[in-house]
Structure formats: structure tokens, C-alpha cells
Amino acid sequence: MTFEEETMFASCPTCPGFVPPGASACPHCGAQIEAAEPQQKAGRSLTETLGKVGAAAGLMVTLMACYGSPGDFADDGFIGCQSDLDCPSGTVCDEFGSCNTPEQCFNGTDDDFDGLTDSADDDCEAFETVCDDGYDDDGDGLVDCHDPNCTGSVACLEDCGNGIDDDADGLVDCADTNSCSACPATETECGNFFDDDQDGLTDCDDDDCTGVCLPPVCGDGLIGEAEECDDGNTVSADGCSAGCLVEKDLFCAEVPVLSLGQNPGDNVAATSAFSSSCVLAGGQEAVYSFTAAADGTLYLSLQADQDMGVYVEAACETDAGELACANAVPGGQLESASVVLTAGQTVYVVADGAGFDAGGPFVLTATFVE
């Protein structure tokens, strides 16, 4: 079987020369190519056909019209190109003196037809392609944010309050003045339960608050760690004694009733008189009373950003008899407890901070099922 030598090529409508069969577009100009159908020619042997093909190989020179011609592009007496300036727009001068389409390094295509695509092609500089995958993508020994390729990546921006060197420059949070210049240099408030300057020390534990934080004094309106309450005076018989201890009989008579549904609250500046098996003494609490209208189960859930627990006492006393207690998860997660009650039974529900500085808003939700 023999074939016409022209079946080895398909003409490009807008470029001079030929391109290999199977190409859908000229690699230089992008013109769409309609390949010629193979044609048999009787009377020609395989040897003749190969000879024709060999002769037709001369036509391969004209491929360079699309791939990059060895012609005198710059009209300077030199065949081929010596620099990119000698080449038509959109092409570059390769090491063989031909003008070729350059490799585009991020499009998934072998643009220069050398069998290598994108970063696998030596024409492309290696690059850290993903900045938070834990891998050295470009094989330069630098992983993720340690690689300069990742400078400015969202994954490598310094979070100024998480205790992590996010941008891998050896400086954490506010110590990284290049990224966290907005951080205050000192503890700006000494009683907000927040580490304002992100140095790991909060409020009075920070030396910045020396002179501001004084030993607690009963009657100053601020609850110290050794006080159960402080109502701003040293008068007894008002629920908070002259020694800043909770007067339970007066205090318990005034606690709010727990409503079914959501009960938003805040335990900052609250009393610190209760504790339980799951929440130790020292935290500030909010106390509620609840009386069952019928036999049933009281279901409780507590949501707060700070670490808090919820527990149920049989009476308004720490040692009166604990009926339920929940403090199993860290702050920001839901604590849940339940207790079976009989009709007319009154209990006291306590939302308590798990530590002296665990104060802030919370939502205590109650559901009763008969």
C-alpha cells in the first residue's frame, strides 16, 4: 500500500508551510487546521513511498513558518534568531536559533511542544504552588511559608493573636512588627480578662499593670480572688457582708427564676461563692432557681466563649447536695446536663466560670419534659 507524500502534512490556512497531521491549530498563529484525508496511490512500492517521504522531509523546513523559522527574521544576514528581538511578536528565540512559542508555566499545556508541561519544563522556574500543604512543592528545601514564593499568600499572613508564627519569619504575633504593627505595646486595660498586648500575660499578671492592680480591698466594688462578693461598701445585711462574703439567706431570696427557653447572662463581676465537683471554687457564677410544675426532666445547655460549667444544687448552698454537673468541654462548646424532678421540687441552677478569669456573656437554655 502506498500513500501520497502530502498525506504526511496538513496545510495551515493562514501560515505558510505545513504542520504535522493531527494538530488542530497552528502552534504559532492559532489558526484552525483541516487535515487532508489520506490518499492511496496505486503502482508505488513501499521503497518509492519512503523515498518520497524522504524527499518530502525537505518540506519540514517550512514547518518553521509556524514553529519558528530558521530564516533571516531580523534581516541582518544571520540565519535564524540570535535573541528574542529577532523573533515575531509572541515568540522567543530558543537555544537552537529558532523562534518558538514560549512555555506558559501554569496552563497545563505543552506550549513549546517539547513533551514537557508547565513546571516539568526546564523553561519554567520551579515554584511553591501550594503554601499550606506541608510539602516542598518546588523541591528547593523550603516548605510552604518558609519559601519566598509564598510571600503574600493568604495562608502565610500573620494572625496577630493566635500564638503561632504564621509567616515563618521567627516572630510570633505582636513581636512581628512587620505584620502586626497595630498591636498595642502594653496591656491597655487591666481588668478586661484579655491579653491586650498578646504577650501571654493577662491583666494584673502583666507587669504593664503594676501600679494599677492593687491588692483587693473589701468595699472597693471589685471582686478579688479572696472575696465572694463586693458591693462597694462594708455594710452587712445587704446580701454581701462587711467582710465581702455572700449572705446566703438574703442572696438566695433574690436570685432570678430560670425561665424555660434561653436565659442570656454575664458572670463578669458576679459572686464567687459556689463550687461543685466539676467546677472548682474561684470562678464567678450566676445562680437561678427553678421549681418543677410537674414530674419530669429538666434539660440544661450552656453556651459561652469562655470556659464555664453548669450544675444543679438541691438547695442554695454548695454542700446542699449536687444533683447534676457538666464541665466536660473547653470554652466555645456546648455544656449539657439534666436532672429528674418531682412536682413542686425547687432546685438551684448555677452557671459558673471555670477559673477566676472565666467571665463573660453566656446563654443558658432550659427545657422541661414531663
Residue 157 C-alpha cell reads as 499572613
User: How many alpha carbons lie under 13 Å from residue 55 in its C-beta half-sphere?
Assistant: 8
Q: Which of 91-105, 143-157, 247-261, 301-315 has the least mean pLDDT?
A: 91-105
- The mean pLDDT of 50-55, rounded to a whole number, is 44
Give CA–CA dist 137/127, Å, rounded.
7
CA distances from 204 to 111, 222, 297, 359 (A): 64, 13, 43, 15
pLDDT, the chain, mean: 75
Out of 54-63, 169-178, 182-191, 303-312, least confident range: 54-63
Taking each continuous run of H as one helix and of E as one strand, the counts in the chain are 3, 12
pLDDT per position as a tens digit, 306-338: 999 999 999 998 777 899 999 988 888 899 999
Residue type, 269: A
Higher pLDDT, 3 or 282: 282
User: Between residues 83 and 4, which one has the greater pLDDT?
Assistant: 83
Domain ranges of the chain: 5-67, 126-183, 185-211, 215-253, 255-369
In this predicted structure, what is the pLDDT of residue 119?
66
Q: What is the mean pLDDT of residues 331-360?
A: 92
Alpha helices in 106-233 (DSSP H): none
Q: How confident is the model at residue 8 (pLDDT cuts 50, 70, 90)?
A: very low
10 Å Cβ neighbour count for 354?
Answer: 20
pLDDT in tens, 214-229: 777 899 888 877 789 9
Q: Which fold has domain 255-369?
A: Jelly Rolls (2.60.120)
User: Which of 68-82, 118-132, 149-163, 297-311 is predicted with the least confidence, judged by mean pLDDT?
Assistant: 68-82
> Which residues on neighbouring strands pair with residue 349, listed in sequence order?
288, 312
The pLDDT value recorded for residue 86 is 75
Q: Is the pLDDT of residue 143 over 70?
A: yes
Angstrom CA distances, 42 to 2, 8, 88, stand at 7, 17, 43
- Among residues 364, 159, 356, the alpha carbon closest in space to that of 269 is found at 356
Name the band, by pLDDT with cuts 50, 70 and 90, for residue 364: very high
